[in-house]
Amino acid sequence: MSRFKRVLIIVGSVVTVVAMAVGGLFAWLWTGADVSTVGKASFDNALAIPPLAESTVDKDGTRVFDLRMRAGETEFNAGRKTPTWGFNGSYLGPTLRAARGEKVRVRIANGLDEASSVHWHGMHLPARMDGGPHQMIAPGGTWTPHWKVDQPAATLWYHPHPHGATEQHVRRGLAGLFILDDDKSRDLALPERYGVDDLPVIVQDVRFDGVKLAGGHKIMQNVGFLGDQTMVNGTLRPYKEVGDELIRVRLLNASTARTYAFGFPDGRAFSLIATDGGLLERPESMDRVQLSPGERAEIVVRMRAGERVMLRSFPQDNYGDAWNRRFGGGDDSFDVLELRAAGELRPSPAIPAALGELEAPDGKDAVRGRYFDLKRSGINGRSMVMDRVDETVTRGTTEVWTVRNSNGMPHNFHVHDVQFRVSEVNGEAPPAALRGPKDTVFLPNGTTMKLALRFTGPADPDTPYMYHCHLLYHEDEGMMGQFVVVDKGQRAHAPSQQTGRSGHEHEHEHG
């Protein structure tokens, strides 16, 4: 044999061995990458229902709430104390509730040993009250935002928004619901007894590292943290006894990165009645609803007497290619919440055939368009900078925003202050699940959406609102931009950060 041949054989076998090792490692990673809790455990923990926050009404009619952010310990698993954060308790927060037309004021105290903020996700309010990264609350400090509720009934939520640390703060437990009511929704025959036939369902995925909540990202998980089990309202393996024929489920995906596709194992249809910003025009019958981080949906499910039915999250077609589905969580499935129906059920009135008119704009009167290219490295090629205003919009106008993801991984898109309407998905009319008022939309790779947004102010040229990917790891890394609402002819100014006002109430800017 020539020396050349021998070298060739040696090189060839080394290459083969390496290729087999890499292939084997990949096969091992691939088959181990999807997670399922379906059918694996019995659901024997009574579902915790977040308490309705107490409030008082001021002389001037303002409804006043108190929230205190603090560290604590939570027993997710009996006898094992997990360090967590919460509002007024050790994990999550109470449900705030107010009606359209009411003035609200929230006195927030930061009892943590690091700065944070509290953002009102989905709320239309002045930029200074928004609770984004420009309204930080120092450790030991307070912040008292106030505004007038002026939008339709909806299931909104609140959570911290410190730039670069939102994922950590939310994952540790800082999140809660903010339910809005209005006269129209009160007049509709929909299930509305909180915690009875109207259930708050805050879904999060978790992984335990000993007693601690794990937070790391696995190799090839480009979306961020993915847990290996889910909980609802902070309860692992929860069940809820129900006694009515129709149950309204207010779903909030409060996970930091995971997208779910909710439905029931027997394939039963349910009625989607509301999206992020409130009621649809009419209920839409469907058997799956997909929610990416930050999105909400209200569904009404019909129960049969005596049955136990699991709310489940199923593997998702609308998630991207096989690689993303496998390593990014799209192939995963979870048993989420078991509903246990009483032997005899109270009859519920039929769901109304019409729920009302949408207030979200349809875009026909749009005065300008903007384009947003979603990349993990930044939106429109720019990573978030606190003192740079990316977009300036004029108060009172409607715009159409085209949002595109061709970044090879899933993203979503959230806009502060507004509820918009999706007018197109990949050139077509939006599916039923995207026909209601929205503030957050899911865009798997290869998706282009057109959104119609109306900015009604108030104008504040000095204080920006945010738009960003709500996969919080991406947001923290800079997938966020800032827009300012100005009056016609006004110029936006570079924002100065309103931080560090420890110990002061700086709310006395009524106007």
What residue 203 binds from Cu ion, ligand C2O, none (CB within 5 to 8 A, per partner kind)?
none
Q: Could you say whether residue 119 binds ligand C2O (CB under 6 A)? A: yes
Instruction: Choose the binding region for ligand C2O from 67-75, 210-218, 225-233, 463-471 (rule: CB under 6 A).
Output: 463-471
Contact 166, 257 (CB under 8 A): no
Q: Interaction with Cu ion in 370-429: which residues (CB under 5 A)?
A: 411, 416
Q: Does 326 bind ligand C2O (CB under 6 A)?
A: no
Find the shortest distance in angstroms from Cβ 163 to ligand C2O: 10
Q: By CB under 5 A, tell whether 47 contacts Cu ion.
A: no
Show Cβ contacts of residue 325 under 8 Å, excluding neighbours closer than 6 positions.
315, 316, 319, 331
State the pairing for strand pair 212-213/229-232: unpaired
What's the burial of 286, exposed, middle or buried (CB within 10 Å: 0-12/13-18/19+)?
A: middle
Judged by CB under 5 A, the residue of 137, 175, 469, 472 near Cu ion is 469
| From ligand C2O, Cu ion, none, interface partner of 468 (C-beta below 5 to 8 A by class) | ligand C2O
Nearer to Cu ion, 248 or 411 (CB): 411
Residue with Cβ nearer Cu ion (184 or 217): 217
* CB proximity list for 261: less than 8 A, separation 6 or greater: 288, 289, 290, 313, 314, 315, 316, 318
Contact flag: residue 97 with ligand C2O (CB under 6 A): no
**Residue 276 DSSP one-character state:** T
Closest among 433, 439, 371 to 403, alpha carbons compared: 371
Binding segment (CB under 6 A) for ligand C2O, from list 40-48, 51-59, 270-278, 466-474 = 466-474
Nearer to Cu ion, 97 or 121 (CB): 121
Give the residue with the Cβ less far from ligand C2O, 97 or 119: 119
Tokens of 74: 């939570």
Contacts of 83 (CB under 8 A, 6+ apart): 71, 72, 73, 211, 212, 213
Query: Binding residues for Cu ion, how many (CB under 5 A)?
Result: 6
416 binds ligand C2O (CB under 6 A): yes
Interface of this chain with ligand C2O, residues 10 to 39, rule: CB under 6 A: none
Evaluate whether 236 touches 77 at the Cβ level (below 8 Å).
Answer: yes
CA angle at residue 174 from 194 to 509, to 5 degrees?
Answer: 90
CA distances from 123 to 98, 278, 281, 434 (A): 12, 11, 20, 19
Per-residue x/- marks for Cu ion, 132-171, CB under 5 A?
----------------------------------------
- What distance lies between CA 137 and its chain's CA centroid? 22
Give me the residues that bind ligand C2O (CB under 6 A), please.
Answer: 119, 121, 159, 161, 294, 414, 416, 466, 468, 470
Give me the residues that bind Cu ion (CB under 5 A), please.
Answer: 121, 411, 416, 469, 471, 474
